[in-house]
């Protein structure tokens, strides 16, 4: 996942994995997929992730920016949505794009930012609210990484770089 959490699961049709509170996905889309494939969780389904939505392609050159954001004050009062509102959106199954759109509409200072700052803000919010899943081959290294991240004592505090 995009927040460096690891899940160990056998990929079979009909199998479900619980990713976080209120979010479980079926692994049917992963059957037969090549290792290293990226998927986005959208409305409890796995769909192939587009590279443009998660990459740096849309960001312009910071040297080409006219104007600045000096007069903008970065406080939580600028955002009309609360954490509870965002959690409600996530629990209702809203996609990451819908959540970011709601955050953008709830921001009082978004329209006053420079174009570069807007793109950077959108990319940062997408990274935070987008749930990505990468299919990785099970090996001693990946299993050790996942178990060590979850609870180091399950592998006797053996780090993955000790495997050689």
pLDDT along the chain (164 residues), means of 10: 76 88 86 92 85 51 65 75 87 85 89 87 89 88 87 85 76
| φ/ψ bin of 157: left (φ > 0), alpha (ψ from -120 to 50), beta (otherwise) | left
What pLDDT is stored for residue 50 in this prediction?
Answer: 78
Q: Which residues pair with 133 in a beta bridge?
A: 39
Q: Under a CB-based contact definition with an 8 Å cutoff, are residues 103 and 81 in contact?
A: yes
- Whether the pTM exceeds 0.75: the reply is no
Q: Can you spell out the DSSP letters for 86-137? A: HHHHHHTT--HHHHHHHHHHHBSSGGGS-HHHHHHHHHHHHHHH--EEE---
Q: Under a CB-based contact definition with an 8 Å cutoff, are residues 24 and 120 in contact?
A: no
């Amino acid at each position: 996942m995009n927040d460096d959490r690891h899940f160990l699961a056998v990929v079979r049709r009909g199998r479900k994995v619980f990713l976080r509170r209120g979010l479980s996905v079926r692994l049917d889309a992963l059957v037969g997929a090549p290792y290293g494939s990226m998927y986005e969780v959208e409305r409890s389904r796995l769909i192939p992730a587009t590279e443009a939505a998660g990459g740096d392609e849309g960001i312009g050159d910071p040297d080409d920016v006219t104007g600045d954001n000096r007069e903008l004050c970065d406080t939580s009062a600028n955002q009309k949505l609360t954490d509870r509102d965002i959690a409600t959106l996530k629990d209702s199954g809203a996609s990451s794009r819908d959540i970011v759109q709601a955050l953008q509409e709830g921001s009082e200072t978004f329209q006053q930012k420079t174009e570069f700052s807007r793109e950077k803000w959108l990319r940062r919010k997408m990274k935070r609210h987008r749930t990505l899943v990468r299919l990785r081959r099970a090996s001693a290294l990946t299993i050790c990484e996942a178990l060590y991240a979850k609870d180091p004592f399950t592998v006797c505090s053996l780090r993955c770089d000790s495997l050689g």
